[in-house]
Structure formats: C-alpha cells, structure tokens
Chains A and B, each alone.
Chain A
Amino acid sequence: EDQVTQSPEALRLQEGESSSLNCSYTVSGLRGLFWYRQDPGKGPEFLFTLYSAGEEKEKERLKATLTKKESFLHITAPKPEDSATYLCAVRGGGATNKLIFGTGTLLAVQP
C-alpha cells in the first residue's frame, strides 16, 4: 500500500535559521513526488514535482531533493512569511493521477 510519512509534525525556527523537512514514502512505481504549501484557511499551493532519485528543484529559499526512499524540503534562511504547513504527496502506479498525501509539517518562523 502506498504510504507517505512526514516529519517533524511541527517545526519552529528563528528567522534565518535553516532546516529541512522530511518526507518518507513507499510506493509501487513512483510517478512523481509533489510538495505543496498550505496557508491557514486556504487550499494547498503547488511548489515542486520530482520524478527521479537525484533530482533537485529550487524556488527562492526552498530546495527539494529526492532519493529512492525519501524527499527533503530544505529551507535556507527562512523568513516569517515562510510560515505554513508543507505537504508532501506521491503519485504511484495505480490510477492515472491519484495522489497520496502525508499529514504535513507545520512550520513557524519567528522574527
């Protein structure tokens, strides 16, 4: 059964304090690992898609990396506006576009 586990559940950082969020997954035939950002009261917002081990993608202070078992979302010198819940999801070999989501990491960046 496809499964996604995110850690930690919550993370509090000081502004400028870099860190990483983890997404471990088990899936039969990975056809994409997705990172989303979700602000309170809003829908998830797409950040990145990674398809194969070794792939990396960057956007501003965020960098996502992928191995065969997990993905990391690295946050470099975060700012308070980076505070949000970060969701990880995988698309496996089943239904064409079905995504399985983790429960997310709640990130709080204090000034």
Chain B
Amino acid sequence: NAGVTQTPKFQVLKTGQSMTLQCAQDMNHEYMSWYRQDPGMGLRLIHYSVGAGITDQGEVPNGYNVSRSTTEDFPLRLLSAAPSQTSVYFCASTPTGGGYTFGSGTRLTVV
C-alpha cells in the first residue's frame, strides 16, 4: 500500500515549456486534489476531482489543466510554464468526509 505517489520529485522548466505532474493513489479514494504551497500563503487548491470523469476548479486554477480517467490517477498539466508557477505541488486523496493523505510533493522551478 503505497498511499499517494507523486512524480517527479524535482523539476526545472524553462518559461513556456509544458509538463505533466503525475499523481497516483492505491487506496480507492474517490476524491483527489492538487494544491500548491508557497511561503507565507499556505496550501492553495488548484483543481479537484470527486470521481473518475469529474473535475472542477479550485482557488488558483489558471495555467493548469487536469483530467481523471481512472480512480487511481490524477495528473496535473502545466500548459505554458511561467515563473509564477514556481512552487511545491502536492497531490492529496481522501475517502468521502475523511482526512487527506498527501503525496511527498513535486518541487518545481520555472526559469
């Protein structure tokens, strides 16, 4: 039982490049979400999904896309990276009403 697995752990992108942050969970949780964490701003919700085929925007969705084709996977796509997207990204999953299980994070730097 691996919990929530995020890859890669570190990434450096050039402005304008695109990439996908991977997130997978093996707990059969319906709800998954992506947060970014920046100094002094806490964890902010980017996108979330209440089940396969269903996604919605969080607090800071601009510049990011998500899809949920399976219960297990919830990738986050950066369409055209900008320096403002330099951050630590966390994926989390939860059963309905329960506490979140977080991945170990992806540290992204956009230069």
Contact = CB atoms under 8 A, between A and B. Distances in A.
A41 B102 CA distance: 13
A43 B103 contact: yes
B90 to A, nearest CB: 5
Interface stretch (A13-21, A62-70, A75-83, A90-98): A90-98
23 contacts: A31-B97, A34-B99, A42-B105, A43-B4, A43-B102, A43-B103, A46-B100, A49-B98, A87-B42, A97-B48, A97-B94, A97-B96, A97-B97, A98-B58, A99-B45, A99-B100, A101-B42, A101-B43, A101-B44, A103-B40, A103-B41, A103-B42, A104-B42
A interface residue count range (under 10 / 10 to 19 / 20 to 34 / 35 or more): 20 to 34
Contact of B101 (A42, A46, A96, A101): A46
A89 B44 CA distance: 11
Contact of B105 (A43, A89, A101): A43
Give chain B's interface secondary structure class. strand
Given A32-B97, A98-B48, A43 B42 contact: no
Interface of B: 4, 31, 33, 35, 40-45, 48, 50, 56, 58, 90, 92, 94, 96-105
A87 B99 contact: no
A84 to B, nearest CB: 14
Contacts of A100: 45
